[in-house]
Amino acid sequence: MPALTVYYDGSCPLCRREIAFYQGNPDAAQLAWHDVSVNFQANDDSSLGDGLSCQRAMAFFHVRDAQGNLFEGGAAFARLWLELRGWRLAGRVFSVWPFSWAINVGYKMFLPIRPTVQKYLLKWDARHS
């Protein structure tokens, strides 16, 4: 079992860029990367594991550790960072209060503007491809 399974929205241009950035990390090979947009299109929750639906996985960033613990939003980022070289300090900092609270607030504040950012990235990609 991988140290961590990362669930991401592969249909989101912003998410794809961010995941590609993390996958470039030397420690990324030890992680499992799961594009939930494939599950969402097939309406198949079965491979996501306990406590995670396609709908929820598409709405919020999630990771699951080797013990089966599921992390969502800012906590998921902090947990991912603990596994990646160059990010571990940030992972430790954002895993404890009040920083864990702050990253969750920041993540929730970003979610409403995410569609706008995605729209601009799609336009950018269309112009520069």
Task: Give the pLDDT confidence score for residue 81 in this predicted structure.
Answer: 97
Q: What Å distances lie between residue 32 and 36, 72, 80, 83, CA to CA? A: 12, 16, 11, 12
Residue range of the domain that includes 51: 4-127
At 24 the three-state DSSP class reads coil
Burial class, 67, CB count within 10 angstroms (exposed 0-12 / middle 13-18 / buried 19+):
exposed
Candidate from 29-33, 56-60, 103-107, 122-126 with smallest mean pLDDT: 122-126
pTM listed for this prediction: 0.85
Tell me the pLDDT band of 49, cut-offs 50, 70 and 90.
confident
Count of domains for the chain: 1
pLDDT tens digits for range 76-90: 999 999 999 999 999
Beta bridge partners of 4: 65
Give kind and range of the element (H or E) at residue 52.
Answer: none
State yes or no: pLDDT of 6 exceeds 90.
yes
